[in-house]
Homo-oligomer: A and B are copies of this chain.
Amino acid sequence: MDIKSAVLQLSSIAQEARLEIFRLLVQAGPEGLPAGSIGETLQIPASTLSFHLKELSHAGLIHSRQVSRFIYYSANYEAMNGLLAYLTENCCAGAKDCAPSSICKPK
């Protein structure tokens, strides 16, 4: 991963509403949740939510798929894993006792 991708992904979760959205999707598991359900749970207006979902999608941290009239969003565990690995490597550069590169797996 290059630094620009890392910054893009970090930016996408460096915002309270988006970090909450991401957490919610992680908790929701691989099936994810429809946009409306996310907005209802977190009390975010539809257009604002759409903006944030686009940011997260653009950074690659979430996926979306259409299920009839609903669009389901779900956490991209691999991408988050990659970001954590990048940060771990950067945090631990030159240090001993680092975690293995594979930190997180979807259930």
Contacts and interface: CB of A to CB of B under 8 A. Distances in A.
Interface residues of chain A: helix, strand, loop or mixed (majority): helix
| Copies of this subunit | 2
Interface in A1-48: 3-4, 6-7, 10-11, 13-16, 19-20, 22-23, 26-27, 29
Interface of A: 3-4, 6-7, 10-11, 13-16, 19-20, 22-23, 26-27, 29, 75, 77, 80-81, 83-84, 87-88, 90-100, 103-107
A50 to B, nearest CB: 20
A3 B29 contact: no
Contacts of A92: 26, 103-105
Contacts of A23: 3, 90, 93
